[in-house]
Structure 1
Amino acid sequence: MQSSTAPQDVLFEGPGHTCLTGEGGCPIRDVLDRIGDQWTLLILAALEPETLRFNVLLRRIGDVSKQMLSRTLRRLEEDGFVERTVYPDVPPRVEYRLTELGRSFLEPMRGLIRWADEHQPQVEAARAAYRARG
C-alpha cells in the first residue's frame, strides 16, 4: 500500500537528513534548542497580550527564578523574539514586548498548547502504565 503522505508533509527528506544525523546546520535543532525549554513558551504567552516590566513578568509566571527569567529573556532578545526597552528612570525601568518574529511564533505555539491540552491524559496514563511495569 502506498503512503498518502505528500512530499511536502515529510518532516525530513530521507534517513540521512542533517537534522536526523546531527551533522551540519539543522534549523529545527537550532530553533528547538532555544524555544524548547520550559520557560520560553510561558514567557512568550505572558507577553502576548501586552508589554510587561520584569517584575510583573516574574509574578505572572510564578515559579521561575529571577536568574532564569533574566537568562531566558536575554536569549529571546538575542534570537529576535523579544524586544527590551530600558527607560532612564531611577531606578531604571525595563520593559519587554514581543517582536513581529515573536508574534509570528504564537500560532504554532497555540497548536502545541492545544495538542498538550488534548493529549495530557494519554501521556499521564502512559507514564502510569510504564511505572507500573516497574
Structure 2
Amino acid sequence: MQEFGSNNPEPIVLHCGHEDPVAFRELLTKVGDKWSILTLLGLSMMPGDRARFSELSRTLLPISERMLALTLRSLERDGLITREVFAEVPPRVEYELAPPGRSLLPALQGLVDWVATHGDQVKASRSDFDAR
C-alpha cells in the first residue's frame, strides 16, 4: 500500500483491510449501484419483503424491464435476493430479500437518511458551482 503523499507511482488501494481488494471494490460497486439500492429498498417495502416482477417494475419507475431483469439477476447471483418460480399457468415468479440483502437495509437506510438531510445542500452547492 502506498503512503499518502509519497512520490511512488503505484495506485492507492482503498480496501478497508480486506484480503482481496479487487473483489471488495467489485462488490461495493455492485451494491452501491443506483438500481441495486432502489431494488433492495423496493423489496423491503413490499409485504414479507417479497414481490413479483411487475410489482417491482411499477414501484421502481422509470426503470426499464431489461434493467430490472439484469438487476434482479445480479442481486440473485450475489445471494442478496432469492427467486422462486411457481408451477402455474402462466408461471408466477416472486423475488424476496435473502438474509444478506436484509442485513444491508440499515446501511441503505442510513444513505437514504443522509440524502434526505443533505440533498438540498448538495443541490445548492451544485447551483453555486455551475454559476461560476
Query: What band does the TM-score fall into relative to the shorter chain?
Result: 0.7 to 0.9
User: How many Å separate the matches in 1 of 2:52 and 2:128?
Assistant: 43
User: How many Å separate the matches in 2 of 1:13 and 1:107?
Assistant: 33
CA RMSD of aligned residues (A): 2.1
* C-alpha distance 111-71 of structure 1, shift in aligned 2 (>3 A): same
- Could you tell me which runs of 5 or more consecutive residues in structure 1 were left unpaired when the two chains were aligned: 1-11
Give the deviation of 1:17 after TM superposition: 5.5
Indicate the percent of aligned positions where both proteins have the same amino acid: 39
| Corresponding residue for residue 96 of structure 1 | 95
Provide the aligned length of Structure 1 versus Structure 2: 119
1:43 aligns with 2:42: no
| Corresponding residue for residue 128 of structure 1 | 127
User: How many Å separate the matches in 2 of 1:93 and 1:13?
Assistant: 52
| Corresponding residue for residue 7 of structure 2 | none
- Could you tell me which runs of 5 or more consecutive residues in structure 2 were left unpaired when the two chains were aligned: 5-10
TM-score by length of 1: 0.80
Give the deviation of 1:27 after TM superposition: 4.9
TM-score by length of 2: 0.81
User: How many Å separate the matches in 1 of 2:88 and 2:35?
Assistant: 28
User: How many Å separate the matches in 1 of 2:3 and 2:38?
Assistant: 34
Give the deviation of 1:60 after TM superposition: 1.0
User: How many Å separate the matches in 1 of 2:123 and 2:32?
Assistant: 20
| Corresponding residue for residue 118 of structure 1 | 117
- Deviation beyond 6 Å, 4+ runs, structure 1: none
